[in-house]
Amino acid sequence: MNKKTKSGLKIISHNRKASFNYSFKEFFEAGVVLESSEVKSLRNGKINIGESYAADQNGEIYLLNSHIPSYKESSYNNHDPKRNRKLLLNKREINKLIGRINREGYTIVPTKVYFKKGKAKIEIAVAKGKREYDKRHAKKKKDWNREKARFFRKSS
């Protein structure tokens, strides 16, 4: 899934399931503390952020439940695929995120992982979970748009 965009970003992974399950309020770009074998796995395009989320631990934001598979050419110093990874944010952003998590009941969900100027970055979103009827409505809307496009294609 490695594709270059016009802005020079090399997108590695995109969490499309998150946009179905959550409604996003605000986006942040964060750096990620990675080990060398993790960076090599990322360059190969291997990461799974489908079930991951970010949480507060001792006043810092960590990415939990993300899976970067081990790099097979690495020897004895390979990384743990499921370890918690620290996100690099400004202090003001960290305080803002912690406040949103604790008081307002939001969650932090990763939406994209990409390389920007050679550095691994992750786009996180402050999100609120959708209810079941919201998900049904979104699915109906998507299906209707698909049917509408099909109809216009046939008629023209």
* 55 within some domain: yes
Start-to-end CA span in the chain (Å):
34
Evaluate whether residue 112 is within a structural domain. Answer: yes
| CA 69 to chain centroid | 16
Angle at 6 between CA 51 and CA 138, to 5 degrees: 40
- What percent of the chain is modeled with pLDDT above 70? 95
Helix (H, G, I), strand (E, B) or coil at 66: coil
Find the CATH number of the domain harbouring 25.
2.40.280.10
For residue 107, give the nearest of 127, 131, 89 by alpha carbon: 127
138 located within any domain: no
Residue 79, pLDDT score: 77
Is 136 domain-assigned? Answer: no
The DSSP line for 16-48 is HHHHHHEEEEEEEEEEE---HHHHHHHHTT--B
Predicted TM-score (pTM) of this structure? 0.79
| Range name among 75-84, 85-94, 142-151 with the lowest pLDDT average | 75-84
Q: What is the per-residue pLDDT for 5?
A: 61
Q: What is the pLDDT of residue 3?
A: 63
Q: Domain limits at 15?
A: 3-130
The answer to whether residue 145 is domain-embedded is: no
The total of structural domains in the chain comes to 1
Residue 134: predicted pLDDT:
76
Residue at 151 is within a domain? no
- Determine which helix (DSSP H) or strand (DSSP E) holds 81, and give its type and residue range: none
Q: Is residue 102 in a domain?
A: yes
Average pLDDT over residues 70-77: 76
Tokens representing 144?
């209707």
Domain assignment present for 41:
yes
